[in-house]
Amino acid sequence: MKKQFNLLSAAIVAVLASTPAQAIQFDGFMTAGASKIVTIEDADKGNIYIGGLGDRGITEDLTFEKDTRFGLQISSDVSDNMSVVAQLLGRGDKGNFNAIVEWAYIDYEFHETTSLHVGKIKQPVYLVNDYVEVGYAYPWIRPPQEVYLLNNPLNTVNGIELLLQFSVGPGTLSFQPYLGSNRDDIPNGGGAYFEAENIYGIDIKYSGRGYSVHASNFQCDVTVSGNSFTQSAALLDGLFGQADSQVQVNLGGSEGKCNVTAAGFNLDLANVVAYAEWTQRTTDQTLSQAFGDTEAYYATIGYRIGKWLPHITFASIDGEASTVGLATGQGAAVPLDSSTGQPFAAPDPRAGITINFPVPQQTSITAGLRYEVNDSAALKFEYQVVDVETDPATLAEANQQFNYGLFNTNFDQLGPQDNVGIMSVALDVIF
């Protein structure tokens, strides 16, 4: 287990030793899932689908790690108006199910309408952010990743938030302004990570019986740290007219501002279930070299038939890759001369040519089926067809010559050139 887990365990033991047992509440959840790419062209094999809650990805081999996770939520009342809340989470990532403190904060209630949260808080950006790990709480095996994966890699913020809730008409109107900071790894960044400082944002939501609608925005200053790294880049052979191409990726020192806006609604009335969300991310300066501008959305519709809930989801992500640094040969990735291992030098016409990270462009259709095993468990099946954009004219408009969608960015081969089918099954339990 990681150090964070050991420290929190020790803290819990100390609390239990000095607090009445009835003041401690434990709630938990678990998802046991399996997934596999079942339809892929031979030339596209080797691409790894990274759209999910873990980070090992989905391949042609059956994996039980991508969607399997266990969480334990712990809460304790300190006084009549103060409580402490935390969540431990273990999931199939590169840490091999090591547990982390996903969030932990102090909740102080000033008034029945006003609460203050201080600590590591859930960032209120999308509809299911507050419970994104709790698979039982939504119809899908994993939330549509065109919206949930890359537009905002953070799920939590180390900081402070104010929760204001008022009864308005038949429902409740809430405001969640927050401030904080956090850091996380960059997907496919070779160990590079980003630090988000001066995060400030707000989520506004109106909820009634069986429906909710929300809008949110946050902005922050981001700095990227990490050493440059070199990898093979066979796909550049055709672009630069050489064999055994390499590319040097330089992300360390990148900085800029990030702005994320989102809006959505969900409906669960009678037998009809519907979700829809839209989000947009913009970045500037050298930060945009790794995080281009993106826009994404999805729509889900389902209908309950007894214990069964068949549903279908259409999702899309699009955007534009950054052009920052390309004109001066200071892009994020520098093609290397395979004979020298150095950037091309004049008078070679390829001297000074650089590229930035491509933005994901793809659509997907997911057909799903949820079965209520009992009041605390749901069995789910999904088949997803992912279509990665490959049209040269469309890619050129997005300032890029190749595209990986939500597959692993690997300069050694092209992303999928034909539709990819992914089969998943999961059992969600709450306790």
Q: Concatenated DSSP letters for 6-56?
A: HHHHHHHHHHHHHS-GGGEEEEEEEEEEEEEEEE--GGGTT--B--SSSSS
- pLDDT winner (highest mean) among 188-202, 321-335, 363-377: 363-377
CA-to-CA distance for 307 and 370, rounded, in angstroms? 8
Here the tokens at position 158 are 């180390």
222 CB-contact burial (10 Å; exposed 0-12 / middle 13-18 / buried 19+): buried
Mean per-residue pLDDT for 157-173? 96
pLDDT over 50 (residue 10): no
CATH number of 3-430: 2.40.160.10
Q: How many CA atoms lie within 13 A of 232 on its CB side?
A: 6
Whether the bond into 347 is cis, omega within 30 of 0? yes
Token couple for 112: 């029945």
Among 6-20, 241-255, 287-301, which stretch is predicted with the lowest mean pLDDT?
Answer: 6-20
Query: Which residue carries 């020192």 as its tokens?
Result: 253
Q: Assign 150 a pLDDT band (cuts: 50, 70, 90).
A: low
In the chain, domain spans: 3-430
Q: If pLDDT is split at 50, 70 and 90, which confidence band does 12 have?
A: very low
Cα–Cα distance for residue pair 82/69, rounded to 1 Å: 30
* Helix count and strand count (H, E) for the chain: 4, 20
* Tens of pLDDT, residues 405-430: 999 877 888 899 999 999 999 999 99
Instruction: Please write the tens of the pLDDT for every residue from 279-310.
Output: 999 999 999 998 899 999 999 999 999 999 99
CA distance 345 to 348: 6
pLDDT > 50? residue 129? yes
Mean pLDDT of 349-374: 92
Band (pLDDT 50/70/90 cuts) for residue 1 is very low
Mean pLDDT score of the chain = 88
Instruction: Check residue 202 and give its pLDDT.
Output: 98
pLDDT for the residue 37: 96
Which is it for strands 293-303 and 211-225: parallel, antiparallel or unpaired?
unpaired
User: Does the structure show a pLDDT above 70 at 93?
Assistant: no
pLDDT band at 230; cut points 50, 70, 90: confident
* Whether the predicted pLDDT of 116 surpasses 50: yes
pLDDT of 377 > 80? The answer is yes
Are 329 and 349 in contact by the 8 Å Cβ rule? The answer is no
Per-residue confidence (pLDDT) for residue 186, from 0 to 100: 72
Taking the C-alpha atoms of residue 247 and residue 354, their distance in angstroms, rounded to an integer, is 9
